[in-house]
Structure formats: structure tokens, C-alpha cells
Structure 1
Amino acid sequence: MAEIFGILNITTDSFSDGGKFLNPDDAINQGNKLLQEGADWLDVSGQSSNINASLVSEEEEWRRVEPIIRHFVPKGVRISLDSFRPEIQKRGIEAGVRCINDITGFTYEGDRDFLSSYIKKHPELKLIIMHSHNRNIAKSKSNLTPEKVIRKVQTFFRDRRSDLVAMDIPESALYFDPGMGFFLSEDPMVSFRVLQELEILKLEFPRLMVGVSRKSFLGNVLGELPIPDREFATLACELHLLRYKIPFIRTHNVLKLRQAEKIWNLCQEKE
């Protein structure tokens, strides 16, 4: 059974829900809703990573996420912090976050020596290395093609794994996200090639996280489908992830994925 990460964006400019949960009470209510629907983790972000996003200050990013972390951690809720800034990651771990989801694959400038000592104190801590063609907020003008993408992602993962293990971080703590949509390319077929060849990635990197929820590549192949109308397309992709037994799935709509997962599993059962 996949572990589901419910997306909780506390931003002004996230592509799907920017501005909806800036108020801490609204964010907490949304977090409770995601948990009630069956989320295993809340994936909390105070810095949008979409193609039109602006960088906020570290102070603003932490101001957005801190109340949510402080509210849920004492209740035993598992929090994943979606942040690429080392200082925010450090504060998050100190506040009880037990998963760091880094869209730069832990390449953003700054001192990360704290990771090895913190992971010794908290061996359950998970680090998610995400691939992005520009190692930062999603951008257009990628040079990735469907033919190149799997090799490029594999090379990136190998390099980051080697560097982090050299920092005395156990390989078992590392998870890998190929990135989707504009993190790969504006060409939707690049993302679809990754989905088609998940088995290749899983052979070397079995601890995968994949997030396809409402992403641009889904809308683009369906006639520029607006974001609110991408739920069926999202679910089709997420069923594909279930088929390949992807261990971590990141999604906005936890309820529809949990319901689909139950039906999917019942369809696979044999007497």
C-alpha cells in the first residue's frame, strides 16, 4: 500500500491552490481534512515551486509553515517539509519534521552538515531527492527529451546519492522523486516517458516518490485542460503509480486516491 502525502501549500502562488491556506486556521483545517481523508503525511510548503513563483524570504517561508508544524507534530502527525533552503530544513527537523522534500535534490546553496548529525538522532528521518532539469523552481526551456530523460534522471540520482552518502547519511534514508511537469520539460511527453519507464527507475531506486497531481503535462495533452478539471487525468496517472507499487504518492485530493486504491486492490484480489 502506498503512503500518501497530502499536499498543503501555504503560499500565495502555488499553481493549484495558491492563496487558499495562508491563514494558519485555514491551513490547519485543510490539514485535518487531508488526514481524515486518509493522508499518511502532510507535505507542507511555504515556498511555491511552480514556473511563475516568486522567492519569498526565509523568514516569510518559516512564518508560513511554523504554526502548522507546531500544531500537528505534538498530535503525532507525520510532517514532510517541502523546502530546499537548509536553514528552513534545519528548523523543521528541530520542530519535529521527519521528512524533508527538496525540489533541488539538496543542491541549493548553504551548509547541510547538520543533516548527518540530525539523522543520527532521528534515524526515521527521510530525505527526498527530487530531480529538476534546472535544480530549482520549475522553469521552461528544458533540453530534456523523451529519449534522454531516464538516463538524465538516473545520473542525477546517482550523483546526489553519492554526495549524501559521503556526508555520512545512510542510503536507507534517501528517497527519489523524478520530478514531473515543468520540473522535467514543457514537453508533456517527457513526463509520460518517465511514467512509461518507472520500472527502470525502480530497479535502481526502489524508494520512489511520484507526484502527478493536477500537473501541466496532464492538461496539455487534453486540450489545455484547466487545473480544476484535471482530477480524472490525475487519478488515471495515480492508478498507474499504484500498479507499479510506487511507495510514496503526493497528491492534492487524498480522498479520491484512497477510494480508487481500495477498489483497485479489491480488483486485484484472488481467492
Structure 2
Amino acid sequence: MTATTGPRHRAPDRPPRVRGLPEFGRCAVMGVVNVTPDSFSDGGLWFDAKAAITRGLTLIEQGADLIDVGGESTRPGAGRVDADEELRRVVPVVRELAAAGAVVSVDTTRVEVASAAVAAGARLVNDVSGGLADPAMAAYVAESEVPVVVMHWRGHSRGMQEQAVYSDVVAEVRAELAERMDKVVSAGVHPDAIVLDPGLGFAKTAEHNWPLLAHLDALHDLGRPLLVAASRKTFLGRLLAAEDGTLRPPRGRDDATAAVSALAAAAGAWAVRVHEVPASLDAVKVAAAWQEAR
């Protein structure tokens, strides 16, 4: 029996609490600030530190519960930047947004960047590699007692799509996430400090992303909150493609992103990670009201 054909698990009435973070009372909305020149979603609009800070403050004003700051593109095929450059991009933005009262997450796979960002005020480490890219990450997170997002990951962006091979994507992602979580806990990270992310688009095709979204329930029995990061991703562009097959461009995928936010929230997600906050904030509020009325 596979995860996609097995019994359905009931979404939790309230996602488990994340140690060290506020309780939001509903599915949280995490706003994205890409301090990169080559982001697939915004084309480097926020690459300048001042622009990135302004963007983060705007997302806060719009109601974002958390702000996720990243300095390295993880789009399929992207190359890596060196650690010094990632630090230069990220730390000033984290410092200013944290000083403004934001709950800041740092999107990085490097322990030196995570450490510097936490020192600057970040309260969550969002490691898309789940601790695999930097063997020192889990020990750092354990020692610093900062919560961490452990994402399903099979390799760096440049070659990750070659790893998009599954016989049952839901069962395999669940098993690999469980293994990653066990490794992180073995390194000393408190289980209550872990958030899990199925890694939509990371070593996954569109045909893999949809079953994962439809079967978030299969991940709930791992016992940790789920972060869903579907915003503007290619599988939405493919769904919304023109008749000639031309993909809907990233900025034209925000309505579809909000629809995913509503469905993910109704399925018990702890947070959704999005580029545009207002519509997804409305969506998760609708989902919360829907759940309360059941």
C-alpha cells in the first residue's frame, strides 16, 4: 500500500507549535525577499540591500507573519555564489528587518551564513538542503537552539532535476523527510524546533508536485509542522500555460499561488511561503474560518 493509495490522515486541528517562534493562530504567511540578481520570480528587483529592506518592510505592513531572506538563487540550474557574497547580501537586510520587529527567517544552506544571520536577529533557519549541504548545520542549529526548516532535497540546483525520479513520490518524500528529521534530531536538535517542507520543485517535476500537495495529510503523521512553498513555481506556470504551450510568467501566477495557499492551509499547513502577501493572507484567513465552521 502506497502513501497515495493508503488511508487518508486527518489534518491537525492546529499545527504543532514551533519552539522559539510565536503562535500565529492560523496558517502563517511567510513573505519572500530574494536578495539575488537571478531569482526566477522577480528578476533581481530586490538585489540592492536598500530595495530589499524596503520590500521586507512592505511585506510586514501587508501582514506577513514571517519574512524569509535569501541571498542565493535555488531555481533549477542556478549556480552557487560564494559564502562571502551571500553574507554581504543577506546580513544587512536581516539586521534591519529584525530591528523593525519582523520575525525573520534566513534561507541558506551554509552554517556561516545561518550563524551571522541569527546574530543579526534571524529567528528561523530555512535550510532547503535539510542539513545535507553543510554537515555542520545540524550541530549549529542544536547549539544555538534556533528552529529550522528541514526540506526534502536531493542535490544542488544545477543538477537537481536529474534526481527527479520516483516510483511513489509521496511515499518516498515522506520516508526521506523522516530520515532527515531523525539525523537532525540525532545531532541534538529538539524535535519541537523542526519544520518540514516537502520541497516542491526541488528534484521534482510538475507531475510530482501535485500529488505532494494533494497528500499533505500523508506528511502530518511525521508529527511536525509543514511549510508549503509553491509560490510562482513553474508547475503553476505550466498549469496556466497558453494554448500554444507558453508558460504563464511568474508574476502571472499569484492568483494560483493564493489558491494553493487556501488549500494548503485547509489541509493543516503551518505556513505558506509566498512572494505576494495580501491574497495569500486573505486565503489562509478564509481557510481558518472554513475549518472553524466544520
- Using structure 2 for the length normalisation, give the TM-score: 0.84
Aligned to 2:230: 212
From 201, 214, 222, the counterpart of 2:219:
201
Could you tell me whether the CA contact under 8 Å between 1:128 and 1:176 is conserved in 2?
yes
1:140 is paired with a residue of what secondary structure? helix
Could you tell me whether the CA contact under 8 Å between 1:184 and 1:191 is conserved in 2?
no
Partner letter of residue 253 of structure 1? E
Partner deviation per Cα, 1:82-110 (whole Å, 9 max, x = no partner): 00011111212222211000111101134
Change (3 A) 1:165 1:20: same
Mapped partners of 1:109, 1:28: distance in 2: 27
Change (3 A) 1:257 1:109: closer
Partner deviation per Cα, 1:215-262 (whole Å, 9 max, x = no partner): 111111222222121122212211111211201110011111112333
Change (3 A) 1:96 1:200: same
Mapped partners of 1:251, 1:268: distance in 2: 22
The structure whose RCO (Cα within 8 Å, separation 6+) is larger is 2
Partner letter of residue 55 of structure 2? Q
Aligned to 2:204: 185
Change (3 A) 1:26 1:195: same
From 172, 176, 182, the counterpart of 2:192:
172
Aligned to 1:76: 101
After superposition, residues 217-256 of structure 1 pair within 5 angstroms as: 217-223=235-241, 224-256=247-279
After superposition, residues 13-92 of structure 1 pair within 5 angstroms as: 13-92=38-117
Partner letter of residue 105 of structure 2? S
From 181, 199, 204, the counterpart of 1:161:
181
Could you tell me whether the CA contact under 8 Å between 2:265 and 2:271 is conserved in 1?
no
User: How many residues of Structure 1 are paired with residues of Structure 2 in the alignment?
Assistant: 262
1:43 is paired with a residue of what secondary structure? strand
Note the residue ranges of structure 1 that are not aligned, 5 or more in a row: 120-124
Note the residue ranges of structure 2 that are not aligned, 5 or more in a row: 1-25, 242-246
Shift of 1:184: 3.6
Shift of 1:81: 0.3
Partner deviation per Cα, 1:144-185 (whole Å, 9 max, x = no partner): 34x51112212211221111111121111111000112x042
Could you tell me whether the CA contact under 8 Å between 2:39 and 2:73 is conserved in 1?
yes
Mapped partners of 1:262, 1:115: distance in 2: 32
Worse-matched range after superposition: 5-14 or 107-116: 107-116
From 128, 149, 168, the counterpart of 2:149:
128
Partner deviation per Cα, 1:6-32 (whole Å, 9 max, x = no partner): 000000111011311111111111001
Mapped partners of 1:244, 1:267: distance in 2: 11
Could you tell me whether the CA contact under 8 Å between 1:38 and 1:254 is conserved in 2?
yes
From 165, 183, 186, the counterpart of 1:144:
165
From 139, 142, 152, the counterpart of 1:116:
142
CA RMSD after TM alignment: 1.8
- Using structure 1 for the length normalisation, give the TM-score: 0.90
Shift of 1:267: 5.2
Partner letter of residue 127 of structure 1? V
1:27 is paired with a residue of what secondary structure? helix
